[in-house]
Structure 1
C-alpha cells in the first residue's frame, strides 16, 4: 500500500505540469472531518467548498493536507498545525491560510460555546476534462492515506 501511494503521488506531481499548461483547468478542494467525526460542537458557516488557491493551481500542485486546530469560544480557528502535507509542504502553508479565514458557528444554540479540538483533511485536486471528472478524482484521492509513512 505504501508503494502504491508513493507511485500515485509521484504520478500526480509529474502530471501536474500538463495541467498548468492546459487551457481548461478544473480545481476542487474536498474537506473531510477526521475528528471529531460525530457530535462536533462547531460547523463551518460557509458550506460551499473552499476555493483552490490560485498560486497552487498555476503551479499545478495537488495533493492532501491534514490539519489539527482548536475552534475557540468565539468561532475562530486557533493553534493551526499542518500535521502532514503530501507531496509538498506548500499545501500545508496554503491550507493554514485558508483555515484562518473560515468562520465557525455552534451546532446547537443550547448552552455555552466551548472550545473544540479538530482534525481535518483537505484534498486538492486538478483536472482538465470537467468539474465532475475533477470531483471524482478528488473522491478517489480521499481513499489514499495522507501521510509519508
Structure 2
C-alpha cells in the first residue's frame, strides 16, 4: 500500500520518567484526500499531548487511521488501518483523533468527509527541537513493519 504524505502538524511534550526527561512529539499527516481536494483540514491550533501511557513504556511508532469528519467539523468515527508497533497505538491514537477539531477548507460547503491520516508518535532527543526533527524524519518513512 502506498501513502502520499501531504501536510504535517507537530505537537511537542516533555516527560520526566524515572528521573530522565523524555521529549515527545505527535505529528498528524493528511494522507488522503490531497490537501487541494479536502473539504476539512486539521485545526493547527489543537495541541494534543504525547500520551503518558506511551511515554512511560517508551513506546514510539506510527499509525494510519480512517477518520470520518461530520458536517460540523467534528470527528465522527475513527478506525485503525495499520500501526507499528501493531495495535499498541490504537487506543491513544483514537483518543487524540476523536478530539481533533477540523476547519472547513476555504470555498467549500460543509459536508461529511472520509479521510486517511497518519499519526506519528516520536520519543527522543535532548531537546524539543531534536524531538521535532526526529518526528519529521520518521513521518517521511513508511509506516510498515
> Could you tell me the TM-score, scaled by structure 2's length?
0.79
Could you tell me which residue of structure 2 aligns to residue 84 of structure 1? 82
Shift of 1:46: 4.2
Give 1 or 2: higher strand fraction: 2
Q: Return the alpha-carbon distance in structure 2 between the equivalents of residues 49 and 64 of structure 1.
A: 18
Q: Give the Cα separation in 2 of the matches to 1:63 and 1:45.
A: 23
Greater Rg over alpha carbons, structure: 1
In structure 1, distance between residues paired with 2:142 and 2:45: 25
- In structure 2, runs of 5+ residues without a counterpart are 1-15
TM-score by length of 1: 0.77
Structure 1 unaligned blocks of 5 or more: 1-18
In the superposition, relative to structure 1, how do residues 22 and 30 fare at CA in structure 2: closer, same or farther (>3 Å)? farther
What secondary structure sits across from 2:129 in the alignment?
Answer: helix
User: For 1:2-36, what per-residue CA distance to the aligned partner results, in whole angstroms no more than 9, with x for missing partners?
Assistant: xxxxxxxxxxxxxxxxx954511100011111011
Higher percent of residues as helix: 1
Superposed CA RMSD in Å reads 1.9
Q: Does 1:66 align with 2:64?
A: yes
How far does the alpha carbon of each residue in 1:84-126 deviate from its partner, in whole angstroms, 9 at most, with x for none?
1101412121101111111112122x56311111011011111
Q: Distance in 2 between matches of 1:82 and 1:22?
A: 33
